[in-house]
Structure 1
């Protein structure tokens, strides 16, 4: 099994990366392979709603996103981390997730997923909700901890002083490992629910 972590922060060694590392460490203790995709700081376009991906299953823009989404498609679990600037996920991560899920969200079905946010003070809840919406519309299995998945710190390294935040991330990693194994066992014994074709309905005619 493998979990891909997406770091939405432009600081590869900042507080968001630290939070992700705490979760990944617990996964690795359980024998689960991990990989980090550095999205923050990259020049990633926003979705232009061109519809090209409906024909090919891949975004038409070749800025490195498709290669990253290939890794997500192959993974059993996805972990997404964001810094919080204006009470939501940061812009680069939003562009990445919009295009990744618009082009290949159907491939994410029943993957195990979790989101974490690194904040100075507040806004973590709305950032988590932003990310979780991508998971729930794609029929993913969302993991929780013993509190909302937020760690506090402003400058790089400050999150290491948030003892409760560290515990939240450790437990999230343990719960994610458990859910991955439970999903694997359930799939072997009971299989997956049959996938239904999406019924789309517009209310303005």
Structure 2
């Protein structure tokens, strides 16, 4: 199996990405198990942050690295929290605090539509001049009451009208097919197959 460092210690992300990349014979190694510290995320876009994290993990490990930067964008809030989704309620905020702040800020808004964004960056080395980069979106509505226990982050409040479920109510295998991260990984896998001259 090919070793691939994942520039994340988020258990939910690790589990989703491991499941999606296993069929391609990748062994996904969370950076924390190698003692790699978390990278800075100074940029204003998901793509720039993902690439910075991937290069950081590859430099520290000497291995190919994959990073994602993802978050939720509420349309009535000028796409906030965006790249600050994981720390929306403060640098060390947890999911509950972040969700509470988002719901509070949307309390007087009639437009509750939002979308998740996932940007993925895969580098073969820290100075890879041709990283693989993918960015995808997943659209839904923010609801006040949490529903479901399968997801993480904003999933219990991210409602999908066409399915009448929140992201946290979906079966993990179903979520992996349709989520922002699932879409991004599917596109990344397609690009990997093309790059490696494998059948799609």
Higher strand share: 2
Higher relative contact order (CA 8 A, sep 6+): 1
Would you say same fold, with TM above 0.5? no
Q: Normalized against structure 2, the TM-score is what?
A: 0.40
